[in-house]
DNA sequence: CTAGTATCGATACTTCGAGTAGCGTAATAC
DNA sequence: GTATTACGCTACTCGAAGTATCGATACTAG
């Protein structure tokens, strides 16, 4: 997610474009060592840069992980002809992403940190959740509180499974999740 | 949860029965300061005992919080004439408990810690989840994987709401959660 | 009442990770 | 060249988990 080169480049040495390297190193480290043992020192070492460089770009470990997740999730692929198809594809997409190596553990980790950290909670809500929430409100024509409920159910279920078992939710249960939420959507 | 006085009391000074005091101090501290700032030192001070006494009884902060939650949740009140009524009452009970001051934050906190700590995850699954899972399997006549799915959905949704907003789920959404899960139960 | 045992409180300590400070160096614009 | 900003590096502060030790205390057994 390189910053667009503005016509008026600011003075001084430009930042090296190592964001993607750091993100990859972050997910790899979290995947291999778990969230708690994935210290900023270790992530920096895995990325081959200095720890201070990380703190020059992201103000905290939580912010780093959040930025990493925003990058990893990317834009919402809301595909489908009907509202049902759109919501179903979004749920399957979320399940697949959270199941990728490192992403689920990183997500559960920041989520946990956010519980006791209102500032991080705001970052998480604004940077990560809001884009998908707004896109879903638009695509489904549903009010905010209803989309928030869907997100609580889907993301909460996926993270709870990941947190309690250390493994992503199996496909059969993702199917059940899709069926369950679609049934709620239908009953408008 | 005082230990039953066995006929053959072991030698030495008996433990002071301060478990309940510690549990109350734990929930109060977590409620007032949040999970991260609820250090063992502060919890001990709030309980009026030494930190070392806490570590003589529970091997880690996570184990203390888990024991506190086991005590706070208590036995599962699976009441109701039909399977639907039993499951509905269980969901509402879980929502009410997680909404109590300190409990939701403590739950989300240990849950987070457990993600990166397999030992704590085992304690959490064995001590806190298994009793309710087994009772639900028995009461509902449903297989393990299905009850586990219900637990993922219900607890995951409630914790996600708690974690993202800092506030427990409102009654309207708990109603929606009950409706949604019951609909899955019916479709056997 | 005394001996034995195990818990308590208190203090000090070790360990480790988040985040900061300072400095010399490298890369760019002018 | 100079100015400016990012980099790597080292060293540091701070806070919290968990440990070690020791004198004092509360029991039981005789």
Three-class SS of A48-82: CCCHHHHHHHCCCHHHHHHHHHHHHHCCCCCCCCC
Instruction: Tell whether A36 lies on the interface with B, counting CB pairs under 8 A.
Output: yes
A23 and A97 fall within a common domain: no
- pLDDT value of position A6: 40
Same domain, B82 and B142: yes
pLDDT digits (tens, 9 = 90+) for A48-78: 999 999 999 999 999 999 999 999 999 988 9
Q: Is residue B42 part of a domain?
A: yes
Please indicate, yes or no, whether residues A91 and A176 belong to a single structural domain of this protein: yes
- Chain-chain contact of B162 with A115 (C-beta, under 8 angstroms): yes
pLDDT tier for residue B5 given thresholds of 50, 70 and 90: very low
Residues A114 and A62 in one domain: no
- Spanning CA of B56 to C1' of C8, the rounded length in angstroms is 10
* Residue B18 banded pLDDT, cuts 50, 70, 90: confident
Measured in angstroms, what separates residue A98's CA from nucleotide D10's C1'?
Answer: 38
Measured in angstroms, what separates residue B17's CA from nucleotide D22's C1'? 24
Question: Does residue A78 share a domain with residue A60?
Answer: no
Same domain? A112 vs A53 = no
CA–CA gap between residue A147 and residue A135 (Å, rounded): 10
Query: Is residue A110 less than 8 Å (CB to CB) from chain B?
Result: no
- A95-154 confidence digits (pLDDT tens): 999 999 999 999 988 887 787 788 888 888 998 999 999 999 999 999 999 999 999 999
Within chain B, where are the H helices? 19-33, 40-47, 51-57, 61-73, 83-99, 103-115, 118-123, 130-140, 144-165, 171-186
Number of domains making up chain B: 2
Q: A179 with A135, same domain?
A: yes
In a domain, A112, yes or no: yes
Name chain A contacts of B62, Cβ cutoff 8 Å.
none
Say whether residue B64 is in contact with chain A using an 8 A CB cutoff. no
Q: For residue A180, which residues of chain B lie inside 8 Å, CB to CB? A: 153, 180-181, 183-184
B150 touches chain A (CB under 8 A): no
| A60 and A92 together in one domain | no
Q: Provide the pLDDT for residue B36.
A: 87
Domain extent at residue B162: 75-186
CATH number at B154 reads: 1.10.357.10
Q: Is strand C in 7 Å reach of the CB of A60? A: yes
Domain holding B51: CATH number?
Answer: 1.10.10.60
Query: Distance of CA B81 to CAs B35, B96, B140, B178, Å?
Result: 38, 21, 11, 16
Q: Are residues A109 and A169 in the same domain?
A: yes
Q: Pick from A4, A16, A15, A122: which is nearest to A66 by CA?
A: A122
């Amino acid at each position: 997610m390189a910053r667009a080169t503005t016509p008026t480049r600011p003075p001084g040495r430009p930042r090296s474009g190592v964001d993607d390297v750091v993100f990859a190193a972050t997910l790899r480290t979290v995947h291999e060592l778990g969230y708690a043992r994935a210290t900023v020192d270790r992530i920096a070492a895995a990325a081959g840069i200095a720890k201070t460089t990380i703190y020059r770009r992201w103000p905290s470990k939580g912010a780093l992980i959040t930025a990493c997740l925003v990058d990893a999730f990317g834009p919402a692929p809301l595909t489908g002809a009907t509202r049902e198809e759109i919501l179903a594809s979004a749920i399957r997409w979320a399940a697949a992403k959270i199941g990728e190596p490192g992403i689920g553990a990183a997500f559960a980790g920041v989520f946990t940190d956010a519980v006791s950290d209102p500032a991080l909670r705001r970052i998480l809500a604004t940077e990560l959740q809001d884009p998908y929430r707004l896109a879903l409100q638009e695509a489904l024509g549903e009010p905010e509180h209803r989309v928030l409920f869907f997100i609580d159910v889907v993301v909460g279920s996926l993270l709870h499974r990941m947190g309690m078992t250390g493994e992503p939710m199996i496909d059969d249960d993702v199917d059940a999740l899709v069926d369950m939420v679609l049934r709620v959507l239908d009953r408008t």
